[in-house]
Structure 1
């Protein structure tokens, strides 16, 4: 068995879309980032890579490379899954915690879990998804923390 951990955070700014778990979430603010700024998929990507010592998202997809400008984070996640599978790994379960003060994510839970299930090829009962707020400590940011369990 292998365990991986990843986290990501982004400042929220006006004029950017908010992407989480591969979906656009209605919001007046979105992540300031070189790519689409999907903190959830970035954290999962890093967690997968860390389980096999394969570096991190910044090494594979540096924000200094114009190829990744505006890139969808689903691509990064799929590449991390491919690299893990090359090592003989198979994803078994994830736990993902999203911290965001606004907008509230609970109305989007079903869609977020469904899309994660599709992206990761896991049944929904193997996807732990929790929502937190910063309690006003960091109201203009989004943060994601992910733990993954792999076999192989």
Structure 2
């Protein structure tokens, strides 16, 4: 059995009165992540980890931010498309471990819903998805609530 690991990273700026979607969950907050799609920083980092593990380049290669097909799209769809690409290369997902770095709002109450959304989109068990969150201790652009960062690692295995 061949196994591979992948690493993903994403960052989005926050804008006042903009929707804030993380892990497919719409969070109540005064500002939200801005981008071409729904700017779901967590799912973008996960997609990059999965694509990297399978040597399929990165999310920007497959879902260009200049392509109108992806404008405003749910990143859960991008994750589904990423999983299809993995399956075409004969890989399945072993597990995903992700970390959000965000000052506010609190993420912990939303983690079960995020795990469920990711599990459904990726076709894996909730037990195979770990999501954690931390603040930046009020330092830098994250601490000033100007942006949000996500990191993800994954394990994939040849079927």
Q: Aligned partners of 2:77 and 2:117: how far apart in 1?
A: 14
Structure 1 residue runs without a partner (length 5+): none
Which residue, out of 140, 151, 155, partners 1:145? 151
- Matched residues, number: 152
Query: What TM-score do the two structures reach when normalised by structure 1?
Result: 0.95
- In the TM superposition, 1:118-129 aligns within 5 A as 118-129=120-131
Q: For structure 2, which runs of at least 5 residues remain unmatched after alignment?
A: none
Within 5 Å, which residues of 2 pair with 1:44-83? 44-83=46-85
Residue in 2 that maps onto 1:32 = 34
The alpha carbon displacement at 1:22 in A equals: 1.2
2:134 equivalent in structure 1:
132
Contact 2:14 2:146 in 1 (8 A): yes
What SS is found at the alignment partner of 1:33?
Answer: coil
Shift of 1:84: 0.5
Mapping 1:1-16, distance limit 5 Å? 1-16=3-18
Q: State the 4+ residue runs in structure 1 displaced beyond 6 angstroms.
A: none
SS at match of 1:82: helix
